[in-house]
Amino acid sequence: MKIKDIETKTNIFLAPMAGVTDLPFRRLCSRLGAGLCFTEMISVKALLHNSAKTREMLAKYDGEYPVAVQLFGHEPMDFYKVISSGVLDSFDMIDINMGCPAPKIVKNGDGSSLLKDLDTACNIICACVKATDKPVSVKFRKGFYLHDDISVRFAKMCQRAGASMITYHPRTREQGFSGKIDVEDIRRVKEAVSIPVVGNGDVVDRESYERMSKVCDAVMIGRRAVGHPEIFSLLTGKDVDMTKKEIARLHLDYLKEYTKSERYIVGTFKRHAFSYVDSVEDRRRIAMASSIEEIENILFS
Ligand SMILES: Cc1cc2nc3c(=O)[nH]c(=O)nc-3n(C[C@H](O)[C@H](O)[C@H](O)COP(=O)(O)O)c2cc1C
């Protein structure tokens, strides 16, 4: 798929996920067939204040392409300043988070809170578009309150403001992850705009993928990729001759290559490792593990 000058490798994308889509995991998913990867959401305010911890989240590996950095915030000028500063220049795309339902994000007016304030949302997109020639995309939900549906209006606003792509998750903020998504909601958004539309929500296997891919240009996968990154090779048909254990090994090796803190590696890897093992007993042991060595003994010995 083409997004401005960016050519994605496949039309199945890895969703931005805080605490999950760090550099090692993006590398793994890209190798397994993810056509475009997104960073975890990154605060524009923290970047403006030069937070060292936040800067670390901007790490990329050599040759990583294409990759979108996802930003959150609520002040258009913050986005403009961060993008103009050049700190994001190594990324291929800028994605704006307008869907995060987490209370601590919403209370600051960020994430899905912007679904209630289309003027500010529009000004943020315009500020990003003004600050860069790279594609700017927006990820959003159906609305804020339980029965809202502002999706078509919101999608049209994104397009008018200059977004090159939108990702739509057809649940409201109040729904969180409850209920089932309806791909017809995505079809309506797709029919309302001419920019590429990425569908997102509940894709876990070939059947759910095919249902969604019929109504939009690309499909984004989040939760299913955690512990199951082979979903990308399964759906893209990319011939990856790796067992589950070899995938787990590679993931841990990438973490060790790019991350210095053992605490981070153990904490992060555990989120995935429960699905890398089969038995309840091994899952219990992984939950208790406090070192890389312990994890390696459980998984690979
Ligand atoms: C642990 C976790 C962290 C997430 N972090 C982000 C994030 O940083 N930015 C974002 O736009 N969405 C975030 N999401 C939402 C996902 O990107 C995606 O929209 C959602 O999980 C629905 O897709 P799925 O059904 O394939 O998981 C997160 C979801 C999970 C489960």
Residue 260: the pLDDT is: 82
Pocket test for ligand 1, best of 42, 141, 223 (most atoms within 8 A of CB): 223
Buried b (16+ CB within 10 A) or exposed e, 162-173: ebbbbbbbbbbb
Position 276 scores a pLDDT of: 93
Q: How confident is the model at residue 238 (pLDDT cuts 50, 70, 90)?
A: confident
pLDDT in tens, 117-163: 999 999 999 999 999 999 999 999 999 999 999 999 999 999 999 99
Q: What is the pLDDT of residue 241?
A: 86
pLDDT, average across residues 12-21: 98
Q: Please, which pLDDT band fits residue 240 given cuts at 50, 70 and 90?
A: confident
Ligand 1 neighbour 169 (Cβ under 6 A)? yes
pLDDT digits (tens, 9 = 90+) for 162-216: 999 999 999 999 999 999 999 999 999 999 999 999 999 999 999 999 999 999 9
Check whether 8 has a pLDDT greater than 90.
yes
Note if 126 is an active site residue.
no
CB of residue 227 inside a 6 A radius of ligand 1? no
SS3 70: strand
Closest ligand 1 atom to Cα of 202: 25
Residues 265-280 have pLDDT tens digits of 999 999 999 999 989 9
Nearest CA to ligand 1 atom 2: 17
Give the CATH number of domain 2-236. Answer: 3.20.20.70
Nearest Cα to Cα of residue 139 among 105, 107, 108: 105
Dihedral of alpha carbons 32, 95, 64, 45, sign? negative
- Mean of per-residue pLDDT scores for the chain: 97
All residues at 6 or more sequence positions from 193 whose CB lies less than 8 Å from its CB, including other chains: 155, 156, 158, 159, 166
- Residue ranges of domains in the chain: 2-236, 244-300
Does the pLDDT value for residue 70 go beyond 90? yes
Instruction: Give the active site residue among 29, 100, 122, 126.
Output: 100
Q: pLDDT tens digits, residue range 276-296? A: 998 999 999 999 999 999 999
User: For 231-237, which contacts have Cβ atoms below 8 Å and span 24 or more sequence positions?
Assistant: 231/204, 231/205, 232/10, 232/12, 232/14, 232/29, 232/32, 232/33, 232/34, 233/32, 233/33, 234/206, 235/12, 235/33, 235/206, 235/209, 236/10, 236/12, 236/33, 236/35
Q: Kindly report the protein residue whose alpha carbon is nearest to atom 1 of ligand 1.
A: 17
The pLDDT-based confidence of 44 (bands split at 50, 70, 90) is: very high
Banded pLDDT at 301 (limits 50, 70, 90): confident
